Structure 1
Amino acid sequence: MRITRVKTYIVDGGFRPWTFVKVETSDPGLVGWGDCTDWGSPGPVAATVERYAERIIGKDPMASEAIWWELSAFSVRHTGGIAYKAMSGIDSALWDIRGKVLNAPVWQLLGGRMRDKLRLYWSHCGSTRAGPWTQKLGLRPVRTIADLEELAREVLERGFTAIKTNLMPLEDDPDGTGVPSGVGDAPSSVLRHAERIIGTFREALGPDVGIALDVGFHFKLGGAARLARALEPYDLMWLETETLDAAALRTIRDSTTTTICTGESLFGTADFRPFLELHAQDIVMPDLAWNGIAMGRRLADLAHAYDVLFAPHNCHSPLTTLVSANVCATVPNFYILEFDVDDAPWRDDLMSHPFEVQDGHLILPERPGLGSDLIESELAKHPPDHYPDAR
C-alpha cells in the first residue's frame, strides 16, 4: 500500500475557513482525512501541504511517524507555524488511514480510552453572536447585557457546565467597545468592561458553571496581571492569555489566584517545554490541528509529567473535534474540550457520521479511524467566503 495522492480543500466554516487534507492510497477506496485549519492563512497552509505531498507520494501511509520526522527535518529552517499546520493535517489523515486498515478507532491505537464521553465547554459564548456573522449563522445577536443573561439561560438549558467568552462590544456598557488596540496595558475602563461581562455570566450561570475568558495576545505582562487580579472574585475556570515568554507568564501566574491557561500558539515539545519547566500555567491548550495526533499525545504526556492539565484548543472544523477527541479519550490529565456551539449550520452535512453531543458532553465515536469521513460533494457546496484578513 502506498500514498498515491494528497488533496486539499478550503471550505466555508461560517466565520472562518476550514482547511482539510485528503490522503488517497493504492488500496481502492481507502483514504484518510485530516484538518489543518488556519483562520488567517488557509492558502499558504494548503500550498505547503501540496508541497509536502511531493515528498510523501509513494510512501507507506502506515509509516506516519517516519513521515512526520522526515517533513520535520525538511522544514527545520521554518519549524512551527505554517509548516507544522501542514504537517499536522497530513498526520491526522495518516492516523485515520491506520485506524481504517486495522479496523479500530484512533483512540484504540493510542492505548485505549479512559473515558467514553468528553466534557465540553461552549466556546466564543456571546462573542460569536456579537460579531458580524449572526445572520449568516442564523443566530440571535448579542448586543446588550440582557442578551448575555438570555444566552446564559440557553447554556443551562442545553446542559453545558462550562463556557468560554471574550471581550466584546455591548451597547449598554459605557466601557464596552471591545478589546483596545493599544500597547497591551489594561486601563480601568477595560477592567470594568471585563468585570461586567464575567460578572453577568457568573450571576446568571451560578457558582458551579465554569467560566473562561480568552484574551489571546491582547495584553502584555502588566496588563494581563491586572486583568487576572481584577477577575479573582469571579472564580474563573481560567484566564487564557498568551505570550511567547514563559518567564513572563510565570510572573503573571505568581501575581494572582486566577487559574492561567495558555498554549494554542505553541508548536511541539520544544515550544511547550520552557512553559512546563517553569510551571508557568495551570492548564495547557495545544491545538491538535496544528500539532497533529502523535505530537498532541506527546504534549499531553509531557504536561502530565509536570502536573499540568490538558485542554486542547478546538475551535476549527468538526474534523478537529474528532482529532482532539481521539487523543483526549486516552490521557489521564484531560480536563475539558473546547466546542463551538454557534457553528456553521452545514457542519454536520459535511460528515458521513456527525458526532453526538449530549448534555454538554461529546460521545466518543466507535467507528474505525477518526470516526467520520468528509463528503466531497458537500464540501463543494460551501466554497470559502470572504473573511477579514484571511487569504
Structure 2
Amino acid sequence: MTEIVDYELYDVPPRWLFLELETSDGLVGWGEPVVEGRSKTVAAAVEELLDNYLLGRDPNRIEDHWQAMYRGGFYRGGPILMSAIAGIDQALWDIKGKRFGAPVHELLGGRARDRIRVYQWIGGDRPADVGEAAAEQVEAGFSALKMNATPEIRRVDSPAAVEAAVERLRSVREAVGPEVEIGVDFHGRVTKPMAKRLVAALEPHEPMFVEEPVLPQHNDALAEIASHTTTPIATGERMFSRWDYKEVFEDGTVDVIQPDLSHAGGITEVKKIAAMAEAYDVALAPHCPLGPVALASCIQVDACSPNALIQEQSLNIHYNETSDVLDYLADPSVFEYEDGFVDVLDEPGLGIDLDEEYIEAQSEEPVDWHNPIWRHDDGSVAEW
C-alpha cells in the first residue's frame, strides 16, 4: 500500500506557508495551510495532524482523512484547525491528481467552464488614489476591480466619512465607466449603523457587491443591512465550514459567498459549500489574497462549480511587498490573465509546478508578517 511518508513546511515571504507532502512511491503534493499573521500557529497544528494521524496512511482516502482530522478532535472548527486541514487537503488532492494524470477538477466531475474571471485589488488598506489606479488596471486588461470602502471608521461616524467613501467609489466609476465591475470591501471594519448608511450611499455608483459589511459574528444584521440596498451582499472569508454557512443560506440575504480554500477546509469542504450555495441561488467567489497553491486550489473548484462568479487573486496586492505569486512558480504562464480571465488549469493535480529551489531559499528569509493594530483618535482599538 502507498503511504504518506514525509512532509516539509516552508514559511516564506510575504506571509505564506507551504506544505510539501511526500508518498512512499515518490509523489509529492503541495498545500498552503496558513492564517495570515498566524503561520507559526497553523504550522504547529499541521505538524500535530500529520505526526499524530496522517503519516503512514494511504493518501488516496481524502474524504476519510478529512472526516478524521475534523471529527477526530473533541474541539472543532475555527481558523487554525480548518486552515491546517485545508493545506493538507490541498496536498492530498495534488497527489491524487498526479497519480491519475488528471487535474483535480476532472476528479470532481469535470469542468463547467473553460476560464474564470479574476479581479484586481486597488487602493491599499487605507484606500487612496483609486481612480488613477483603477484606470491603470483596466488598461492592463482587468474588467473587474476591488477596493476597500474605508480606512478605520468610528462606530457612528460623520457625514464626511460617508461622503469620503462615496467619493472614492465615484472616482473609480468615473475613471472606468459602466462596463467594469467594482467590488467594495467593508473588511468587517464597519458597524451595523454605519453599514446601513454606507450601502445606501454607495448604491448609485453600482458596486458589483459590498463585501463583509459586518463581521461574521454579526451576520444576524445582514438582513437589515440588505434592506437598505439592492447591491449584492458578499461575505464568508472568515467562515470556515459548511456549518458556518448554513444560517446565511437559510436567511437568504447573502448573494455571493467567499470561502477561502486555505481557511475553509480546503478543496473537499469548499466544493461542498459551493454545492450548498448553488441550491440557494448564491454565487461563489473564493477569497484568495494568498499564494500560488491557494490560487490553484481555488481555480480547480471554480472550474467545476456552476455557480462560480469571479476569483480573487493577489498579484501586486499591497501585502506582497517582498515576493509575489508568480515568483514561486517554475512556469508563471499558468496564471496568465487575458481579457480579465485566467484559463482553467489542466495539468495533473493542482496544475502548477513550484520552484522548489526558490522556495527553499526564501524559507531562509525572516518572515514575521502581522496585520497592523489600528486605533481610533480616542485611543480605542479599531477594526483593521
Return the TM-score normalized by structure 2.
Answer: 0.89
Taking structure 1 as reference, are residues 76 and 374 closer, same or farther at Cα in structure 2, changes over 3 Å only? Answer: farther
2:282 counterpart residue number: 308
How far does the alpha carbon of each residue in 1:258-308 deviate from its partner, in whole angstroms, 9 at most, with x for none?
221001100111100000000121111111111200111101100000011
2:31 counterpart residue number: 34
Query: What are the residue-to-residue correspondences of 1:61-140 with 2, within 5 Å?
Result: 61-123=59-121, 125-127=122-124
Partners of 2:70 and 2:76 within 8 A in 1: no
Taking structure 1 as reference, are residues 358 and 384 closer, same or farther at Cα in structure 2, changes over 3 Å only? Answer: farther
1:218 counterpart residue number: 189
- The alignment yields a C-alpha RMSD, in angstroms, of 1.7
1:174 counterpart residue number: none
From 137, 151, 172, the equivalent of 1:155 is 137
Return the TM-score normalized by structure 1.
Answer: 0.88
Partners of 1:353 and 1:371 within 8 A in 2: no
1:250 counterpart residue number: 223
1:363 counterpart residue number: 343
From 238, 259, 270, the equivalent of 1:286 is 259
Amino acid at match of 2:3: R
Partners of 1:75 and 1:83 within 8 A in 2: no
1:266 aligns with 2:244: no
Partners of 2:82 and 2:240 within 8 A in 1: yes
Partners of 1:186 and 1:219 within 8 A in 2: no
Amino acid at match of 1:220: T
From 256, 272, 297, the equivalent of 1:323 is 297
Amino acid at match of 1:362: V
Query: In the aligned structure 2, how far is the partner of 1:329 from the partner of 1:118?
Result: 7
1:138 counterpart residue number: none
Taking structure 1 as reference, are residues 376 and 341 closer, same or farther at Cα in structure 2, changes over 3 Å only? Answer: closer
Residue 363 (structure 1) shift = 1.3
1:45 counterpart residue number: 42
Residue 186 (structure 1) shift = 4.2
Partners of 1:92 and 1:323 within 8 A in 2: yes
From 366, 381, 385, the equivalent of 2:367 is 385
The size of the alignment, in residue pairs, is: 359
Taking structure 1 as reference, are residues 346 and 235 closer, same or farther at Cα in structure 2, changes over 3 Å only? Answer: closer
Query: In the aligned structure 2, how far is the partner of 1:150 from the partner of 1:103?
Result: 45
SS of structure 2 residue aligned to 1:212: strand
Stretches of structure 2 that go unaligned for 5 or more consecutive residues are 373-384
Query: In the aligned structure 1, how far is the partner of 2:75 from the partner of 2:290?
Result: 27
2:205 counterpart residue number: 234
1:275 counterpart residue number: 248
Taking structure 1 as reference, are residues 185 and 374 closer, same or farther at Cα in structure 2, changes over 3 Å only? Answer: farther
Using the TM superposition, name which of 70-79 and 271-280 deviates more: 70-79
How far does the alpha carbon of each residue in 1:159-200 deviate from its partner, in whole angstroms, 9 at most, with x for none?
1111000146xxxxxxxxx322x3x33432221111111011
2:170 counterpart residue number: 199
Residue 37 (structure 1) shift = 2.5
Residue 346 (structure 1) shift = 4.8
1:139 counterpart residue number: none
Residue 389 (structure 1) shift = 4.4
Percent identity for Structure 1 against Structure 2: 35
SS of structure 1 residue aligned to 2:186: strand
Stretches of structure 1 that go unaligned for 5 or more consecutive residues are 131-141, 169-177
SS of structure 2 residue aligned to 1:40: coil
Query: In the aligned structure 2, how far is the partner of 1:348 from the partner of 1:247?
Result: 39
